[in-house]
């Protein structure tokens, strides 16, 4: 075989896996269809402290963020977070992705840019022949294990018949000048006319710019497009006055796959990151869960690669820790549906008003963790009297999750 592992897609998750495997003596080649890393940019760029610790790319941070102001659909709002306690960081995604890929190269992995994987052919229980195209030149390269880290619309996932992510949301975002938020604070806007079932955001990115965007699910949009909703937030919503004088300097949009696919592991093949459907159902963030997914298996995976123990049952066994990720994702989705997605505007307004009660805000500040929203959600259902009516529904949702 030409390589132990071919990773299709040099996004942050594929590159993180390549780094960890190369550091363990595995011969890894990354194939990336674009001519440069980190493009197109499709992200709000929030990276949580654990993920940042993994890669140490603090030089890519544009703005550290301590908290969020959440706006209800009508009048209520609540500010959560503690000044000076960093909850997340807004990074320059291009530089962040380049940094992760650079670490992979430093660890000994190889990278082929402008190379699109076009097909897979199994080689009799020994590995794969990957077909690829670079400009007008087609070629093949062989490997013992193929990894699909090729994003939300993963072709590797399709070739392996691994199933689909449970949900596919759409994100749409602009970068603006002229918006103001409290220092080190982001804002979230809710309401069916703003982001049906989900929320919009304004994230400070230093240098006087903000990323303003929203995400929602296609089946909740009716006739509206995400672009039209974002335009409405900035021009006709109750928040419109705050966007007066803003200049749009960039636009982005992209898919957000949430809900781990049925078969992330096949014979001599694995899916990671967005390809596996790993974005968080509560925020849409995919870097943290992708890095977690990598960290959970790399030691065992490197050993299995060295021993050439890469059958589907062997890979399933070593990826058993992913069951926790799947379970957590399902529970987080159930809680999101309960508190946000399945609430009409009046109910949502009441929820934000309850969040603003001092004892509830204190609970959020104590337990709120972007990576682990489930403990906070459960504690609120248990301890906050206004949420008791939801508790029974939640119990059922969690039991069936």
Ligand X SMILES: Cc1cc2nc3c(=O)[nH]c(=O)nc-3n(C[C@H](O)[C@H](O)[C@H](O)COP(=O)(O)OP(=O)(O)OC[C@H]3O[C@@H](n4cnc5c(N)ncnc54)[C@H](O)[C@@H]3O)c2cc1C
Residue 295 in tokens = 């960290």
CA 57 to chain centre: 18
Question: Given candidates 6, 21, 28, 44, which one binds ligand X under the rule CB under 6 A?
Answer: 44
CA distance 213 to 286: 16
Provide the minimum distance between the beta carbon of 290 and ligand X in the complex, in angstroms, as a whole number.
Answer: 5
Q: Which of residues 109-138 bind ligand X (CB under 6 A)?
A: 116-117
259 is a contact residue toward ligand X (CB under 6 A): no
State the greatest distance between any 2 C-alpha atoms of the chain, in Å, as a whole number: 65
CA 288 to chain centre: 7
Question: Given candidates 5, 6, 7, 8, which one binds ligand X under the rule CB under 6 A?
Answer: 8
187 is a contact residue toward ligand X (CB under 6 A): no
Q: Quick check: 71 and 190 in contact, CB under 8 A?
A: yes
Q: Mark residues 45-74: x for contact with ligand X by CB under 6 A, - for none.
A: xx----------------------------
Residue nearer to ligand X on the CB measure, 76 or 147 = 147
The residue range among 26-34, 52-60, 183-191, 329-337 that interacts with ligand X, by the rule CB under 6 A, is 26-34
CA distance 293 to 283: 17
Could you give phi then psi for residue 208, rounded to 5 degrees? 75, 15
Q: 160, 102, 111, 130: which is closest to 2 by C-alpha?
A: 130
- Is 219 exposed, middle or buried, given 0-12, 13-18 or 19+ CB atoms closer than 10 A? exposed
Residue 42 in tokens = 């499709």
CA distance 1 to 268: 13
Provide the minimum distance between the beta carbon of 256 and ligand X in the complex, in angstroms, as a whole number.
Answer: 5
277 is a contact residue toward ligand X (CB under 6 A): no
Residue nearer to ligand X on the CB measure, 72 or 290 = 290
Residue nearer to ligand X on the CB measure, 272 or 387 = 272
Provide the minimum distance between the beta carbon of 161 and ligand X in the complex, in angstroms, as a whole number.
Answer: 16
226 is a contact residue toward ligand X (CB under 6 A): no
Measured CA distances, 301 to 16, 93, 147, 262, 308 (Å): 14, 28, 12, 20, 10
Provide the minimum distance between the beta carbon of 330 and ligand X in the complex, in angstroms, as a whole number.
Answer: 18
Q: Which of residues 155-174 bind ligand X (CB under 6 A)?
A: 155, 171, 173
Q: Quick check: 132 and 114 in contact, CB under 8 A?
A: no
Residue nearer to ligand X on the CB measure, 12 or 81 = 12
Residue nearer to ligand X on the CB measure, 116 or 300 = 116
Q: Which of residues 201-220 bind ligand X (CB under 6 A)?
A: 213
Residues forming the site for ligand X (CB under 6 A): 8-14, 31-34, 42-46, 116-117, 149-151, 155, 171, 173, 213, 254, 256, 273-275, 279, 284-288, 290
């Amino acid at each position: 075989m030409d390589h132990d592992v071919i990773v299709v897609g040099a996004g942050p998750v594929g590159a993180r896996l390549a780094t960890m495997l190369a550091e363990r003596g595995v011969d890894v080649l990354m194939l990336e269809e674009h001519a440069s890393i980190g493009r197109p940019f499709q992200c709000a760029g929030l990276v949580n402290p654990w993920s940042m610790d993994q890669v140490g790319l603090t030089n890519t941070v544009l703005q550290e963020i301590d908290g969020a102001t959440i706006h209800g659909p009508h009048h209520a709002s609540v500010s959560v977070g503690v000044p000076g306690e960093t909850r997340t960081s807004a990074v320059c995604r291009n530089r962040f992705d380049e940094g992760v890929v650079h670490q992979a190269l430093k660890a000994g992995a190889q990278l082929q840019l402008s190379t699109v994987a076009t097909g897979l052919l199994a080689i009799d229980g020994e590995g794969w022949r990957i077909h690829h195209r670079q400009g007008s030149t087609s070629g093949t390269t062989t490997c013992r294990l193929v990894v699909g880290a090729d994003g939300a619309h993963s072709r590797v996932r399709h070739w392996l018949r691994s199933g689909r992510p449970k949900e596919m949301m759409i994100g749409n975002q602009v970068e603006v000048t002229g918006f103001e938020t409290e220092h080190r604070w982001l804002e979230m806007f809710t309401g069916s006319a703003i982001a049906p079932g989900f929320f919009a955001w304004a994230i400070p990115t230093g240098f006087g710019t903000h990323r303003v965007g929203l995400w929602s699910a296609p089946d909740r949009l009716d006739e509206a497009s995400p672009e039209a909703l974002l335009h409405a937030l900035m021009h006709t919503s109750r928040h419109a006055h705050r966007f007066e004088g803003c200049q749009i300097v960039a636009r982005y949009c992209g898919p957000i796959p949430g809900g781990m696919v049925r078969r992330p592991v096949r014979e001599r093949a694995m899916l990671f990151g967005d390809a596996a459907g790993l974005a968080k159902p509560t925020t849409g963030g995919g870097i943290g869960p992708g890095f977690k997914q990598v960290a959970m298996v790399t030691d065992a995976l490197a050993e299995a690669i060295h021993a050439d123990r890469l059958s589907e049952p062997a890979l399933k066994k070593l990826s058993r820790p992913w069951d926790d990720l799947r379970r957590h994702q399902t529970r987080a989705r159930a809680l999101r549906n309960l508190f946000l997605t399945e609430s009409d505007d009046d109910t949502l307004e009441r929820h934000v008003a309850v969040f603003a009660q001092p004892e509830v805000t204190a609970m959020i500040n104590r337990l709120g963790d972007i990576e682990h929203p489930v403990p906070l959600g459960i504690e609120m259902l248990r301890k906050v009297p206004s949420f008791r009516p939801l508790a029974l529904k939640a119990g059922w949702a969690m039991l069936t999750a």
